[in-house]
Amino acid sequence: MYQRILENTIKDKIGTGKAIIIVGARQVGKTTLIKKILEGQEYLFLDADDPSIRQLLLNPNTEEIRSILGENRIVFVDEAQRIDGIGLTLKIITDQFEKVQLFVSGSSSFDLGSKLNEPLTGRKWEYELFPISWEEFEKKEGFVKSMQQIENRLLFGFYPEV
């Protein structure tokens, strides 16, 4: 796995009382990065690709959210852009459950941004994750291999698969 430059920046924001939002194109490693940051910790993973999770998070009240979260102090909502009204739900979590560290990822910065900006104003740290950078690639693969791969990388980019 590639060491992402954004990882330490995100780690520094944990415990600040704000949601940590990571947006970006599909397959750039948003979920992988958050799972790596949370490695070794217990957390609640809510995958919005799952219709039952989407239904649970669709306009819940505070008590319903309390039931969903249980005793979890770390919550990761993946593919959040799939949930209508998710911004308000996340606002309730950040406002009412101060001991909960919320991580949120979404594949489309446009879709997720429009759903989150107003409800989470001042309540979030938002980062955009891009495909693997040259620096990240070279650090793992080494200079020689990176130079040997430069034509491929320029043609196909730094996504994990073409």
Contacts 24+ apart (CB under 8 A), 24-27: 24/107, 24/109, 24/128, 24/129, 24/130, 25/107, 25/130, 25/131, 26/107, 27/159, 27/160, 27/161
| Average of per-residue pLDDT across 93-100 | 95
More confident position, 146 or 115 = 146
Residue pLDDT, tens place only, 38-52 = 999 999 999 999 999
- Single out the residue of 68, 77, 62, 74 nearest to residue 21, CA to CA: 77
| Average of per-residue pLDDT across 9-33 | 94
CA dist., res. 149 & res. 162, Å (int): 14
Could you tell me which CATH number the domain at 6-130 has? 3.40.50.300
Instruction: Say if residues 89 and 65 touch (Cβ distance below 8 Å).
Output: yes
Q: What is the pLDDT of residue 80?
A: 93
Residue pLDDT, tens place only, 51-76 = 999 999 999 999 999 999 999 999 99
pLDDT at residue 108 tops 90: no
More confident position, 109 or 18 = 18
Q: What is the pLDDT of residue 133?
A: 87
More confident position, 108 or 91 = 91
Domain boundaries, the chain: 6-130, 132-162
CA dist., res. 85 & res. 78, Å (int): 15
pLDDT at residue 110 tops 90: no
What pTM, to 2 d.p., does this model score? 0.86
